[in-house]
Amino acid sequence: MKNQRASWEKTDDFAVDSVLSKFCEVVRDHRVQLGLSQEELGCLSGLHRTYLSDIETGQRNNLSMKSLCRLAFALQLTPSELFQEMEAAASSIALGTSQLVGMDS
C-alpha cells in the first residue's frame, strides 16, 4: 500500500501556495454567501477586519488554531468543514502537481 504522506512531503512550494489560495477563496466565498462584510465577520469572530482582509488576499497564511476555529465558527462551519472545502477546491491542483513532478509512481 502506497504511503500517501510521502507524496505530500515532496510537494513543492507552488502546490502549497495554490492550496493556500483556495483557503482564501473558501473564506471569502463563505463570508459573501452569508452576506457579511469583513467588518461584520470581524465582530463575529473576534478578529480584526484588516487581519481578515489579509487572510482573504493571501497576505496572511500562518493562522493560529484559535484564529482558525474562530473564523470557522463565525462562518457557520466547523474547522473540519472549512478544511474539507479547501481540500476539495484544491484537490485538482495537488493531483496535477504530483503528476507533473512524477510523484504518482
Residue 49 pLDDT > 80: yes
Going by pLDDT thresholds of 50, 70 and 90, the confidence category of residue 4 is low
42 and 48 in contact (C-beta within 8 Å)? yes
DSSP string of 14-75, one letter each residue: HHHHHHHHHHHHHHHHHHHHTT--HHHHHHHHT--HHHHHHHHTTS-----HHHHHHHHHHT
Q: What Rg do the C-alpha atoms of the chain give, in angstroms?
A: 15
Residue 34's pLDDT is: 98
Q: Which domains does the chain have, with CATH numbers?
A: 15-100 (1.10.260.40)
Tell which residue, 3, 6, 21, has the closest CA to residue 92: 21
Residue 103 pLDDT > 50: no
